[in-house]
Amino acid sequence: MYSNRKYVIGLIFIVIALIYIYKLFSIQVMDSSYKLSAESNVFRKVVDYTARGLVFDRNDKLLVYNESSYDLLATPNRVPEFDTADLCAILGTTVESFKAEFQKAIKHARYKESVIFKQIPKHRYSYLQEKMYKFPGFEVQKRTARKYEYNAAAQVLGYVREADQKFIEANPYYKPGDYVGVAGIEKSYEEQLRGQKGTKIYIVDVKNRVQGKYKDGIYDTVAVVGLNIQSTLDIELQEYGEKLMQNKVGSIVAIEPSTGEILALVSSPGYDPNLLVGSDMAINYPKLLADPYKPMYNRALMACYPPGSTFKTINALIGLAEGIITPSTAYPCNGGFRLGSHVVKCHHAGSLDLVSSIQHSCNAYYCYEFTKLIADPKYKRADSAYSNWRRRVQSFGLGTKLGSDLNQESGGILYSKDYYNRFYGEGHWTGYTIVSLSIGQGELGFTPFQICNACATIANRGYYIIPHIVKKIEGQDHIDPKFLEKHDTGIQRDYFETVIQGMYQVCEMGTGRSARVPGIEVCGKTGTAQNPHGKDHSIFEAFAPRENPKIAIAVYVENGGFGATYAAPIAGLMIEKYLTDTITRKDVEARICNANLLDPNAQMK
């Protein structure tokens, strides 16, 4: 009995000993949290924040640079009583918000420094330095803030803000207090622009006072400055586009057809990119979001509009490629296209061939052509012919994301046959059912970005290169190879020449005469997109010169009426500015700049 008890007690002691051994092993070997806690009381890791890369335009004009800014830090246990109002006056903040941040620091760690006020600008910092002797326990950490040289291209360049917790959890490189690009180039090329943070490790005592560098700095890491980027943007053209679009809602996109380089990308109304810099961002960001005209919404990349009559050039090319029409094919137009009691109205009378149908923007011509195309006997059913037509449309980059390096692209609206089969019933619809597609109305929605790219495709006689905003990255031999690749429509070059002749006549003697530029052959197409919510949208696409085109452009002016009223003259002025660097038609420029199409009931802020 006694013998058994002895073994039981011995076993209990052994088990207890094993538990203690296991616990000690876990604490010292397996669990690093205690080690980290101990290290944090001995070492202070100071992040060496580096400057982001600079951004230039295509002509080496500086667009985005860095300016010194400073964060104010405090170690609460080392801060005696001080004149809070005096410090807040220097910082340009309220006593209430400052006290709130200081209380957070106390709760976080009394013996460690915490950021109390972020991004102090240079002019405030210089005054603060003179007064720092009055505020023991506070210190300043150098940072940089983005500055934008021009009050233009805000939606293209993007902005930078502090990374939130959700972003940090998804991207381990970033820590609280780091800044990250949010939109435009700043976001798309964040990894190249941000550089690499450095770290300095100091030995501190129990009161967080620095005692020296850990092991003479052999474990410190060097900060690497971000890479500089040359954009494809022409900042003078961008500024001019924004000037023409002032007091209007809409967008302008300009592309160099041979390279796919974006020359200008205007979304109006816009905003000054410097509004979202430094401590002022907290005030300005909510105001921009609340603005009824949504200046932070990139209409050029995201807004989907019916293409209107600009789409007739695409349908003409598809009809030629499918053998439905030839350049000499003529259709009658006596005020429109009639389908029972339904009439697709047109302003023309008489018979037109293909070139003339583009010049005069004849609705009837494209209704006849489209219904024949969907009834093409080489396809067994209408939905099969439609699928082929849809594939042809997509070959121009329409109704699909192009894959640009600007990250806000909308895919547009171009439904598959399944949509119509569900809506009308399989086998119960024809080209007559969806005839509105022939003139760019109905279930279609493309972005100005896509329309401009399609125009560039016509300018190139059958191919496009994905539009992109970056021309060169410092230290790299080439940009992403996908921005060098040609995307071919599969339509032969001769057909493009026929359509281009029609587009040339649009500008010489047709609906786009207001886009004419002296001494330059401009090829274009007007459009008027029906708007169920108000006045129609004014649309124009063009490229110039006719041979070896240097610029393709798409202009959308919301509630601008006919394409010839606003969009065409804006496109012509942009073309003249880019190709000649002068404006000869000062009267047209003045009319456009002075036009105010904003709703007087929606006040701009």
* % the chain with pLDDT above 90: 62
Q: What is the mean predicted confidence (pLDDT) over 157-184?
A: 91
CA gyration radius for the chain?
32
pTM of the shown model: 0.87
Residue 345: the pLDDT is 82
Query: Cα separation of 73 and 55, whole Å?
Result: 30
Lowest mean pLDDT among 48-62, 137-151, 368-382: 137-151
Q: What is the pLDDT of residue 44?
A: 65
Q: How far apart are CA 239 and CA 483, in angstroms?
A: 25
Residue 576 has pLDDT above 50, yes or no: yes
Whole-number pLDDT of residue 206: 57
Element counts in the chain: helices (H) and strands (E):
21, 22
- Angle, CA of 332, 334 and 338, to the nearest 5°: 85
CA dihedral of 343, 348, 352, 354, whole degrees rounded to 10: -80
- Residues 210-233 have a mean pLDDT of 80
Query: Per-residue pLDDT for 108 more than 60?
Result: yes
pLDDT at 38 over 50: no
pLDDT in tens, 72-106: 888 888 888 888 898 889 888 888 888 888 888 77
* pLDDT of res. 209: 62
% of residues, the chain, pLDDT over 70: 90
For the chain, the straight-line distance linking the first and the last C-alpha, in angstroms and rounded, comes to 93
- Output the pLDDT for position 530: 77
Q: Residue range 61-78: average pLDDT?
A: 89
> How far is 306 from 442, CA to CA, in rounded Å?
8
Rounded mean pLDDT of 298-324?
96
pLDDT tens, position by position, 263-275 = 999 999 999 999 9
- pLDDT value of residue 601: 66
User: What are the CA-CA distances from residue 329 to residues 324, 326, 353 (Å)?
Assistant: 9, 5, 5
Which of residues 538 and 32 earns the better pLDDT score?
538
Q: What is the pLDDT of residue 603?
A: 44
Report which residue type is found at 102.
F
Check residue 305 and give its pLDDT. 94
pLDDT digits (tens, 9 = 90+) for 530-575: 777 778 899 999 999 999 999 999 999 999 988 999 999 999 999 9
Q: What is the C-alpha to C-alpha distance for residues 508 and 91, in angstroms, rounded to an integer?
A: 61
* pLDDT higher than 80, residue 325: yes
The domains located in the chain, with CATH, are 44-67+142-231 (3.90.1310.10), 235-284+297-594 (3.40.710.10)
What's the whole-number mean pLDDT along residues 201-210? 64
Position 24 pLDDT exceeds 70: no
